[in-house]
Chains A and B, each alone.
Chain A
Amino acid sequence: MRILVIEDEPDLARHIAGALTRQGHTTAVKQDGLEGLNAALDTKPDLIVLDLNLPSLDGFSVLARLRKQHIDSRVIILTARGDVESRVKGLTSGADDYLAKPFSMDELVARVSVLGRRGGALKETDVIEAGDVVMDVPHRKVTRHGEKIELSPREFEVLQIFMREPGRVFTRDEICERIWQREHQYDTRTVEIFIMRLRKKLEIEGRPPLIQTVRGVGYQLLKPE
């Protein structure tokens, strides 16, 4: 994908561009709202990573003008303003996704690839399938091979993280962060216990475990063939 990063903090912009380039995307960086807008109008990128707090023209205005010019590039907003209002404002003014600073680069990369793949935002689908495991999110039910598996609330949440992005490697810290949101005493050991319990419940004799350990990094859900 051709990605335009509009972010005034040069170091952050460099890292974002670096991480996205490593994923095989073509990236360009602008550090000013107006310049960013012009670049977007000229190059019509597939996706724009847009900071809200920008010199000369703020992120919301950039977004509004882009939409007015019918530039329909996907937009992910980055902001230090983590409150509900700016999230709602960002999403209603035409952004496809929203990420609060400081964010995990893996998260950004994952969201970018989801937006590129689906041509839309990460949707909260009700029923997720990964191989023979089916997860009914609203009813909080999980089956494997049609057989019902009883999961505790946290086990369910951990499995949901894996099932939404099969094949992606999650670090223990990232899982922690996803489940409890804030920094906690819940250390990575807690996650290990949940994953251990989850594996036991999902286990089928003679088959490799569904949740694989990636040595020195974390865990991933075995990608279904």
Chain B
Amino acid sequence: MKRWPLKIKVGVYSAALTMLTLVVGAVALMTFIYFRQIHEVDDSLRESSSELVRDLQNFRGAPVNPRHALSMKFVPVDMREHFLMIQGPEGQTVYHSANLRGQSIEGALGFRTISIAGQACRAGSFREPNYTIHVAVSLATVEDFLQDVAIGLLTTLPLVGLMVFAGGLWLGKKAVAPVAALSTAAESISVENLSERLPMPEADDEIARLTVVLNDAFARLNASYEAATRFSADASHQLKTPVAVLRAGLESLRDGGHLDGDGKTEVETLLRQVRRLTGLIQDLLLLARTDARRLSLESQPFDLADLAASALDDLETLTYGRLEVESEIETGITVCADRRHLAIIVQNLVENAAKYTPDGGRVRLTVKREGNQARFSVANTGPALPEEDREGIFERFRRGSKVGENQSGHGLGLNIALALARSHGGDLTLVRSDGEWNEFALTLPVV
């Protein structure tokens, strides 16, 4: 039930509540009616017995002898359906109605509910001058009436429930509509347009408050996003000058002619690290720009086969004597892109393939056209990527769980490649990792 949509919940809750209320109300109502009816029966019993006694005191102008048995003719017509016992002054029974079939309804003065021939009856006993009257009447009519009321309520209950459910559904939908509209609007705000805000509703209600809260959250998100982007751009910038000094210093040390062989080797090592640092800074700056959507592209149309030829050249050299390289390159597929950026993507894929293919394996480079898409894929044989690595393989500073610490690279490669592919209106995906081949495909729109 927790998973139901809000409008269904509103419908179900209101229907259930209404039905429960109706049932409780019905029970209360029926109890009330029952006691009212009993009270009325009691009144009529008392009245009938007084009337009976009045008649006996004055039967055709004279009182009847209270010690003589009475026959039915002494009983008024409207009491002949009643159960009736009349006792004389000494307690002797002077009349016992036939419908009692010998059963005694003698009892203490006052009213009680008894059973006569298996039927619920209301009985009353009254002491009058010379007589004690015991009179009872069937409660069948009262019971029938209550039963009718109960049946009526029970049959209408589902109908009422259904109607209330429908109403609740409508009400729920109506109440949720602004929230649904709000979430649709909120969904359309992404990294691309974080500075946009949700339109404020006219009414000053809960929805308006929610809108304000959401807009505030977006503002904070935007601010921290911009701060993070600016930070990495600034940091990369600021890092470049000291690195330039380091590089210039090391190079002048190397070329100064004051170093012996060991010193020179050491300086070369340091220079290599400086270059690595430079690469990292460049990568971070590139990512900061793609994050901020401020990457400027020097796009120009060119044949993907050219790029593939260089990549193949690299691949063959990198894996020379270790891996088998195959290619299937369709020429004449023109894309409009920044060549340097595409080269970075392709170099990443080529490097990874060269790095992660077990010795004696194969690497396959394919360029082909699929509809309006150009597809550049690099596949290599090797064990399937662990399930848990596939999702995060394109994440920043993420490296495969099986990749040792000693492997070169800083875990930005695929992330940068993806960011660059996307800024060219393309995509980069892991299309296959089945234990036989691992294949990454770059797709780009064809000109």
Contacts and interface: CB of A to CB of B under 8 A. Distances in A.
B296 A183 contact: no
Given A16-B248, A101-B240, A102-B244, A216 B271 contact: no
A18 interface: yes
Given A82-B285, A185-B355, A194-B317, A102 B243 contact: yes
A72 interface: no
Residue among B282, B289, B344, B409 with max Cβ neighbours from chain A (10 Å) = B282
A56 B238 CA distance: 18
Interface string B274-302: 11101110110100010000001110000
Nearest to A193: B317
Contacts of B278: 102, 183
A83 B245 CA distance: 20
Contact of A153 (B238, B249, B310, B355): B310
Contacts of A57: none
B340 interface: yes
A9 B241 contact: yes
Given A173-B275, A185-B409, A193-B317, A12 B244 contact: yes
Interface in A1-30: 9, 11-12, 15-16, 18-19, 22
Contact of B280 (A11, A19, A85, A183): A183
A65 interface: no
Most chain A CB neighbours (cut-off 10 Å) among B248, B274, B408? B248
Contacts of A11: 245, 248-249
Interface in B378-413: 408-409
Contact of A186 (B283, B298, B318, B409): B318
B406 to A, nearest CB: 13
Nearest to A183: B279
B366 interface: no
Contacts of B310: 153-154
Interface string B230-258: 00000001101101111111011001000
A183 B243 contact: no
A117 to B, nearest CB: 21
A185 B408 contact: yes
Interface in A80-134: 80-85, 101-106
Contacts of B276: 183
A203 interface: no
A219 to B, nearest CB: 16
Nearest to A9: B241
B314 interface: yes
B240 to A, nearest CB: 4
Place the interface of chain B in its size category.
35 or more
A173 B344 CA distance: 18
B264 interface: yes
A182 B251 contact: no
A38 interface: no
B98 interface: no
Contacts of B264: 216
A61 interface: no
A105 B317 contact: no
B206 interface: no
B272 interface: yes
A184 B352 CA distance: 11
Given A15-B245, A185-B409, A173 B317 contact: no
Contacts of B326: none
Given A12-B244, A102-B243, A185 B283 contact: no
B272 A173 contact: yes
Interface in B321-356: 340, 343-344, 347, 351, 354-355
A48 B249 CA distance: 21
Interface in A174-209: 177, 180-186, 190, 193-194
Nearest to A108: B248
B309 interface: yes
Given A105-B248, A185-B351, A186-B314, A153 B309 contact: yes
A12 to B, nearest CB: 5
B241 A183 contact: no
B313 interface: yes
Contact of A102 (B247, B252, B344, B409): B247
Given A80-B237, A105-B247, A193-B317, 14 more contacts: A11-B245, A12-B245, A18-B252, A53-B241, A81-B237, A102-B243, A102-B248, A152-B309, A182-B279, A182-B283, A182-B344, A183-B278, A185-B408, A186-B351
Interface of B: 237-238, 240-241, 243-249, 251-252, 255, 264, 271-272, 274-276, 278-280, 282-283, 285, 289, 296-298, 306, 309-310, 313-314, 317-318, 320, 340, 343-344, 347, 351, 354-355, 408-409
- 9 shortest interchain CB distances as A-B pairs: A183-B279, A102-B244, A15-B248, A80-B240, A101-B244, A153-B310, A84-B296, A154-B313, A105-B251
17 contacts: A9-B244, A9-B245, A80-B240, A80-B241, A101-B240, A102-B247, A105-B251, A105-B252, A153-B306, A154-B313, A154-B314, A154-B317, A173-B271, A181-B343, A182-B344, A185-B351, A186-B314
Interface of A: 9, 11-12, 15-16, 18-19, 22, 53, 80-85, 101-106, 152-155, 173, 177, 180-186, 190, 193-194, 216
